[in-house]
Amino acid sequence: MENLIFTANIVIPVFIIVALGYILRRRKLINDNFVNLSSKIVFSVSLPVLIFIEISKIDLDVILDFKLILFIYAGTLVSFFLIWALSAPFIKKGRDESAFLQGSFRGNFAIVGLALIANLYGPENLGKASLVLAFTIPLYNILAVVALTVPVRKEKNLNMKSTLWEIVKNPLVLGVLFALPFSYFKIHVNEMILTTANYIAALALPLALLGIGGFLNFDDIKEGLKLTSISAVIKLVLIPLFATFAAYEFGFKSDDIGIVFILFACPTAIASFIMAEAMGVNSKLAGNILLVTTMVSVITIALGLFILKQNGLI
């Protein structure tokens, strides 16, 4: 019972805020404009500031774990190419395959993941998770571009130079790059600036979670339900199951196992829908995968954390 309450305290608050965003949208207290603008504020300002604060105050010699980073890279790449290889013979339309592939591998670690880890280990322990996020952002973006171009035979439109530039100027990546000298050289941030930054950073997770709820739309849920369901099972059950088991077998402990599980168990990222729409693939399927994984992840993440806690792994 104690472990059940422990799990509920981690997962439920995060998804209550998501549900609140959905309710506020249905009651017309927020609209598309609010969701779009709040997402931009989170992505461009508050989340980079949160990442800067968390990384600037950590000891890189203690926190920077290349074994964990390499494991996450390997897990992401293996997942991506396995999903692609197994789905390609069965999904005939390139537009569907692209949306399916991206929705099955790309998780919302930046928002849902950090919120869950803050609840699990405390806000003061977000440093390692922020570094993991910093390393996964470029990989996710590169694989997303591949997923959205190759299956629909748009390779000729793939400009690697502009893609790399987009990654480098990503606000979350910039937040990391600005923070690293402060962490490495132990530079003290002025107290007044730090207090202001903390206020801005405090907006990040709740505002982002409200935006996710406001973004959800059940109108087209029946379209492509089979592919949506398969993608959700892959994203929420198979990948986190095998990744967490592999992490245990490789000797990772406690907080590392928690980070691995949450990273791979997160619902599909909102960016997957936005990129699908922008690049002309099946955005309705992408939106449905986002919707279903967000809803079902309440159960799968809670169950996974409960099992890990019961077995003393987190």
Scan for tokens 């941030």, then name that residue.
189
Q: Encoding tokens for residue 142?
A: 């590169």
pLDDT number for residue 154? 46
Alpha helix (H) ranges present in 150-218?
A: 160-168, 171-184, 191-202, 204-215
pLDDT number for residue 158? 54
DSSP 107: B
Chain segment 257-303, per-residue pLDDT in tens:
999 999 999 999 887 887 777 677 888 888 889 889 998 999 999 99
Residue 124 one-letter amino acid: E
What residues in the chain have per-residue pLDDT under 50? 154-156
> Is residue 226 packed enough to be buried (19+ CB in 10 Å), middle (13-18) or exposed (0-12)?
exposed
Q: How far from 219 is each of 88, 231, 273, CA to CA, in Å?
A: 28, 19, 15
Provide the b/e sequence for 30-62 (b: ≥16 CB within 10 Å): beeebbeebbebbbebbbbbbbbbbbbbbeeee
CB-based contacts of 164-167 (< 8 A; 24+ apart in sequence):
166/141, 167/137, 167/138, 167/141, 167/142
Please report which helix (H) or strand (E) contains residue 66, including its range: helix 66-87
Chain segment 38-56, per-residue pLDDT in tens:
888 888 888 889 888 888 8
Pick the closest to residue 53 from 188, 147, 164 (CA basis): 188
Report, in angstroms and rounded to the nearest whole number, the Rg of the chain calculated over CA atoms. 19
pLDDT number for residue 151? 79
pLDDT number for residue 4? 76
